[in-house]
Amino acid sequence: MIKVLIVDDSAFMRNALTSMLASDPEIKIIGTARDGLEALEQVSKLKPDIVTMDVEMPRMDGITSLKQIMEKNPVPVIMVSSLTVEGAKVTLEALELGAVDFIPKNLSELSINIVKIKEMLLEKIKYLGKKGIPKRVITKKPSATTFSSSQKTKETITAPNTSTTTPVMRSIGDRKVSLVAIGTSTGGPKALQDIIPHLPKDFPVPIVISQHMPANFTGAFAERLNQLSLIRVKEAEEGEALKAGVAYIAPGRGHMKLKRPRGIETTVTISENKEEYIYRPSVDAMMLSVAELFPGRALGVILTGMGNDGCKGLIALKKTGGRVFAQNEETCVVYGMPRAVVDAGIADKVLPIDEIAGEIINSV
């Protein structure tokens, strides 16, 4: 049985979450709390396997309570977050402090999409409750001058089906790539913070990232990651050309794909149609376009996340001669998306999170 403590100042939310979770025979609601102070008492007394934590509460808010829980009685915590921009910033802070995931607190959608939300919540609670606190690693930040001018050489890439070439700066070495594509979901914000800020300022190729996240969250996340990083990080925009040393995060409102309309520049396109993809933004949608435009010259990286989004796209990328890295189980919050790739037999390397930045640097 997964023992759950529900913390929320709203009686409606406490009852709604209790009703959804108690319907599963593997889950037991062992208590509820109306604020952060009660949460501290209940965590110490009841020893839950997992906690759902509201952010805004009287007496003690969810962030303050989370900090003390992680210091005194570490336990997996899922934040219940509003979908506002401010809610996004607070949620990202919570994830940095040790929360394992978040669920949107949207009362209108809760009544409309109750079945979908219930299935997602039950799956997360059972997996995260059984796994416990993920392994924390400390990554060493590489020098900002990893790519010095003496290490670089200029190559040209011929765009598929055209005779046009475009110059790309790339370091000397074997099996170099022209683009890095990263896909992730649950646990992704922390995992990306263990990778992107550790890349040097003059990183020689573009990076595209699809992280399952609501629309209002991706802009705030890109801004936060940019503040921490030597390279530029931004939310991707429709029609913009990819530039070396810039990481583009797919906006949560749709699926990010790449195209080359004029045969030279690779640009971003954002599709807001659901299409056949369950998750938004879809990792598969991004990876399939990468495989098409960068045959044999792309590195695909799959990080922590539930489900198998990204596997189809990475199979296509691998078939073109591209390379694939997967995060290992020990350092994943959820070993779902990486497992699908590893089980498909297409991972060139399976790596702990603290080694991925270095392996990316060695590949470009």
Give catalytic residue positions. 185, 212, 309
DSSP letter, residue 352? -
Q: Find all residues with CB under 8 Å of 359, minimum gap 6, and list them.
A: 325, 349, 351
Q: Select from 95, 126, 135, 118 the least CA-distant residue to 3.
A: 126
Of the candidates 55, 54, 89, 357, the residue with the CA atom closest to the CA atom of residue 218: 89
| Cα distance between residue 328 and residue 360, in whole Å | 15
Contact between residue 286 and residue 314 where contact means Cβ atoms under 8 Å apart: no
User: What is the SS3 assignment for 239?
Assistant: coil
Quick one: DSSP state of residue 136? Answer: P
CA distances to 5, 100, 129, 239 from 2, rounded to whole Å, are: 10, 16, 6, 47
Structure tokens at 250: 């797919």
Q: Which residues contact 114 (CB under 8 A, 6 or more apart)?
A: 20
**CA angle at residue 177 from 174 to 182, to 5 degrees?**
130
**Virtual CA dihedral for 45, 46, 47, 53, nearest 10 degrees?**
-100
Which one-letter DSSP state was computed for residue 138?
Answer: -
Q: How far apart are CA 275 and CA 24, in angstroms?
A: 31
